[in-house]
């Protein structure tokens, strides 16, 4: 569609991705994810102890669902944004989780990953 100021407009989406350091567009809510990929993103963030993030349920808002895909040029949900930058979906977040990039990215946002503390506990043993 054209421009306009609906929830799916570029301006509206831009505002959403910038309103918090960690923003997730998902199906359902963190308490009740409605697809396996959305659930995986929630679980990964939880592993890192990231409880304070903004989640938007695209199932509540078809305009937003399409708008966010246009904005990121990424065809699927969930989508994760760090500091207003599109990171990717579930598979990319999982990869970043496994190779340590996510810890680093969170650090840039001033968020200390819980996994760092878990590793410290391992070393003591």
Q: Cβ distance 45 to 15 under 8 Å? A: no
Distances (CA, A) of 3 to 11, 13, 72: 9, 12, 16
Residue 83 and residue 1: Cα distance in Å, rounded? 27
Check whether 90 is labelled as a binding-site residue. Answer: no
What's 10's DSSP letter? H
Binding residues: 35
Residues within the annotated binding site for [2Fe-2S] cluster?
35
């Amino acid at each position: 569609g054209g421009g306009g100021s609906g929830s799916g407009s570029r301006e509206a989406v831009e505002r959403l991705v910038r309103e918090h350091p960690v923003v997730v567009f998902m199906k359902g809510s963190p308490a009740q994810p409605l697809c396996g990929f959305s659930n995986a993103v929630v679980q990964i963030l939880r592993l890192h102890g990231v409880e304070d993030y903004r989640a938007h349920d695209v199932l509540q808002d078809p305009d937003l669902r399409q708008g966010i895909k246009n904005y990121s040029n990424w065809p699927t949900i969930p989508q994760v944004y760090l500091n207003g930058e599109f990171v990717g979906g579930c598979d990319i977040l999982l990869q970043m989780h496994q190779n340590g990039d996510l810890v680093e990215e969170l650090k840039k946002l001033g968020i200390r990953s819980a996994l760092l503390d878990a590793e410290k506990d391992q070393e003591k043993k």
